[in-house]
Amino acid sequence: MGRKNLVLLGISFFMSLFFINSAFAIPTFARKYRTSCNTCHIAIPKLTAFGESYRLNGYQIPEGDAAYVKEEPVSLGAPAWKRVWPEAVWPGMIPGPVPLSVRIISDFKVNQASEAASTDFNFPHEIELMMAGLLDENLPFFAEIEFEKETSSSSVETDVEAWLGFYNLFSNALPERALNLKVGTLGINPLPMANDHLRIGKNHYLYNDWRLSSASSGANGFRLRDHRGGLELNGILADRFWYGGGVVNGVNSTDKDGYIITRYKFGGTPFSKSAPGGGTEEAIKGKASGFWVDNALELASFGYFGSTEIGAAATANQEDDKFWRAGFALRNTYQNFDLNAGYIWGNNDDPYGSSSAQNINSQSWFVETNYVFKPWLIGELRYEALDVDMPTDFTVTNLDRARWVPGLIFQIRPNIKLVAEALIYSKYKVASDRQNNFVARLDANF
């Protein structure tokens, strides 16, 4: 990296510190319970064990939400209406203040090109507007719209995730929150310990960020991390087992895909509790240090099955590509140490339609570790690889790659972090989208 680039990086870093010293804000759930962001987040947006239980239980404290709420909701009807139902509409509620949170992400990026390094002030890279909360007990909702620019000169792209939940169905016959329903546009994130939406650093996980190279006749553009409209059933059984499965729109909205996810946790905080052995009061108050500790081992697996039409519609060249992905992962957390690893494989039986008669096998894997040096300083290191058997009967870009992702995360405030992260390709660096780079990311939530 040249002297000019180092100077620019230094200026960017100190300007970031200058502007954020006067900023202190509390996102939606922190306002609702009058607690720190670190009650639920190790570093935004990565969740603590308390935060994960809160999320899995439909944005509710598992032991009972009402006693801890500091911002009272607005009642939609009198409680007595419940006693006269069905002769009255069942009463509900809406959050008191508008439950809006804003996330602003700014990136300073240094790309390693073939001749000289290039720099980019992508300010902002992304703006997210988020709303989440309860419309009644066991009626959670979530809505997010993202405005994103890949580079400072790129056009703005948008993405939406929004769903309404109906939790604790058939509670008279089933255990607490054993059956829940989500309806809307869903982010599937099949391996919970490598949840792309909750990653601590900048770069997406490779296993769910790749898609097949295009061809003149089109290709299956499926990507695991894309949001899809559909329905999901999920639930918690015996405190420590979580399952989820759903039907969602495929790459073409006329096609329907299916998936199933399972996870089991040994030790630590059960999915159905705020803290092991109780301790809800202490957990919701927040801790100055040690809020990230959850000594546990978690196992997860998933399967995704889909089909999409390849080629021009209603022509002799149109063919169906039936495909699947499957994987498993584990996560071990002990004191300040967090280690997770996963392996994912898949198959497409006809991804390029009439352009190729060959099917394609794929496999990817990752190993990742985080270490909390101080409550405000976290180190990360990830190695990940992708191996795709590309067709040999016509020319298409090779997708194989392997890379390292080292980084440091500085929590300047509970709701503001600075990420310094590199992306280093160790092999298969053959395409323009595989440039080594360094990013300094400022991530503020309020």
Q: Is 207 helix (H, G, I), strand (E, B) or coil?
A: helix
Residue 217 confidence (pLDDT): 47
More confidently predicted of 40 and 432? 40
C-alpha gyration radius of the chain: 23
Residue 278 tokens, joined: 């109780």
Band (pLDDT 50/70/90 cuts) for residue 312 is low
Strands (E), 29-85: 41-43, 46-47, 74-76
More confidently predicted of 23 and 370? 370
Number of neighbouring beta carbons within 10 Å of residue 433: 6
Band (pLDDT 50/70/90 cuts) for residue 235 is very high
209 occurs within a structural domain: yes
Number of domains comprising the chain: 1
197: left (phi over 0), alpha (psi -120 to 50) or beta: alpha
Residue 284 confidence (pLDDT): 85
Residue 317 confidence (pLDDT): 61
Domain that holds residue 196: 3-91+165-445
C-alpha angle 438/101/180, rounded to 5°?
100
More confidently predicted of 317 and 249? 249
- Within 8 A by CB and 6+ apart from 21, the residues are none
User: Is residue 135's pLDDT more than 90?
Assistant: yes
pTM: 0.89
More confidently predicted of 386 and 308? 386
Strands (E), 250-359: 256-267, 296-310, 319-334, 337-348
User: Is residue 214's pLDDT more than 80?
Assistant: no
More confidently predicted of 14 and 422? 422
- Report the share of the chain in percent with pLDDT over 70: 88
102 occurs within a structural domain: no
C-alpha span between 146 and 165 (Å, rounded):
21
117 occurs within a structural domain: no
More confidently predicted of 216 and 420? 420
Q: What is the DSSP string of 83-135?
A: HHTTSSPPPEEE-SS--EEEEEEEEEEEE--SSS-EEEEEEEEEEEEEEEEES
158 occurs within a structural domain: no
132 occurs within a structural domain: no
- Within 8 A by CB and 6+ apart from 26, the residues are 37, 415, 446
More confidently predicted of 350 and 302? 302
End-to-end CA distance of the chain: 34
Identify whether the C-beta of residue 314 lies closer than 8 Å to the C-beta of residue 401.
no
246 occurs within a structural domain: yes
Mean local confidence (pLDDT), 234-259:
93
Average pLDDT score over the chain: 88
Supply the CATH number for residue 53's domain: 2.40.160
103 occurs within a structural domain: no
Residue 112 confidence (pLDDT): 80
Which of 95, 174, 106, 173 shows the shortest CA–CA distance to 139? 95
Q: What is the DSSP string of 214-259?
A: P-TT------TTS-EEEEEEEEEETTTEEEEEEEEE-SSTTSEEEE
323 occurs within a structural domain: yes
Q: Residue 371, CB half-sphere, CA atoms under 13 Å: how many? A: 6
Residue 32 confidence (pLDDT): 92
Q: Of 12-16, 43-47, 213-217, 227-231, which gets the smallest average pLDDT?
A: 12-16
Residue 372 confidence (pLDDT): 98
Mean local confidence (pLDDT), 347-369:
91
C-alpha angle 387/392/395, rounded to 5°?
95
Q: Is 212 helix (H, G, I), strand (E, B) or coil?
A: coil
C-alpha span between 229 and 361 (Å, rounded):
27
- Within 8 A by CB and 6+ apart from 211, the residues are 220, 221, 222, 223
Identify whether the C-beta of residue 286 lies closer than 8 Å to the C-beta of residue 48.
no
C-alpha angle 373/199/369, rounded to 5°?
45
